[in-house]
């Protein structure tokens, strides 16, 4: 399964931040919470609790919904969800929809609008066309967590998978990595 590198995600987020606080925050949350397009587009203002620094994620496709913490990232403001959300909530104009990331005309964004926005940033970042779709952010977070040896259950929780077998696809270990781990265990 292909995914974006951390650097590619950062370039996309940088381009989005330079263009639009909404887009930066929207794609940052999409990445950090492994959201599907529909889940990101359906977020409501009430799903964000700035005091508790949490986000209520309402999953689709039979996945497990839940409350996740908003990630602070003091060393990298680009990745700090609290900073991004504070900036966005300060700019956001009330349109009556209670949608966290309304379209330019108000109300929830369509799937096509969301996809088009992501594709524009990904293309500008030099991401190959076959990876220039927003679902790649979900794959990329889970793959990055697996590569950093995160607990499989942590990945499952972040992605909202009910079945652990859905999470296992991210734990692709090469023969060389398996040999290295085996060798290290014998030391």
The per-residue pLDDT for range 17-43, each reduced to its tens digit, is 999 999 999 999 999 998 999 999 999
| Higher-scoring residue by pLDDT: 174, 117 | 117
Q: Say if residues 78 and 13 touch (Cβ distance below 8 Å).
A: yes
User: In the 8-state DSSP scheme, what is residue 99?
Assistant: B
Tokens of 148: 């950093």
pLDDT at residue 174 tops 50: no
The winner for highest mean pLDDT among 108-112, 162-166, 168-172 is 108-112
Give CA–CA dist 26/19, Å, rounded.
Answer: 13
pLDDT band at residue 142, thresholds of 50, 70 and 90?
confident
CB atoms within 10 A of CB 46: 9
Q: What is the pLDDT of residue 181?
A: 60
Q: What percent of the chain is modeled with pLDDT above 70?
A: 81
Task: Using pLDDT thresholds of 50, 70 and 90, give the confidence band for residue 168.
Answer: low
With contact defined as beta carbons under 8 Å apart, do 20 and 12 qualify? no
């Amino acid at each position: 399964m292909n995914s974006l590198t951390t650097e590619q995600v950062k370039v996309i987020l940088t381009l989005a931040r330079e263009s639009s606080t909404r887009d930066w925050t929207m794609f940052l949350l999409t990445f950090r919470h492994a959201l599907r397009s529909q889940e990101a587009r359906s977020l409501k203002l009430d799903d964000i609790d700035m005091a508790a620094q949490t986000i209520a994620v309402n999953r689709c496709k039979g996945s497990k919904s839940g409350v996740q913490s908003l990630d602070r990232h003091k060393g990298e403001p680009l990745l700090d969800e609290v900073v991004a959300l504070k900036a966005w909530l300060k700019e956001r104009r009330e349109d009556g929809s209670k949608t966290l990331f309304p379209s330019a005309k108000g109300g929830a964004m369509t799937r096509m609008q969301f996809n088009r926005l992501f594709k524009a940033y990904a293309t500008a970042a030099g991401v190959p066309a076959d990876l220039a779709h927003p679902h790649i952010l979900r794959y990329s977070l889970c793959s990055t967590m697996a590569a950093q040896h995160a607990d499989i259950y942590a990945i499952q929780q972040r992605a909202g998978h009910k079945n652990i077998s859905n999470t296992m696809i991210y734990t692709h270990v090469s023969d060389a990595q398996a040999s290295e781990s085996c060798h290290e265990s014998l030391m």
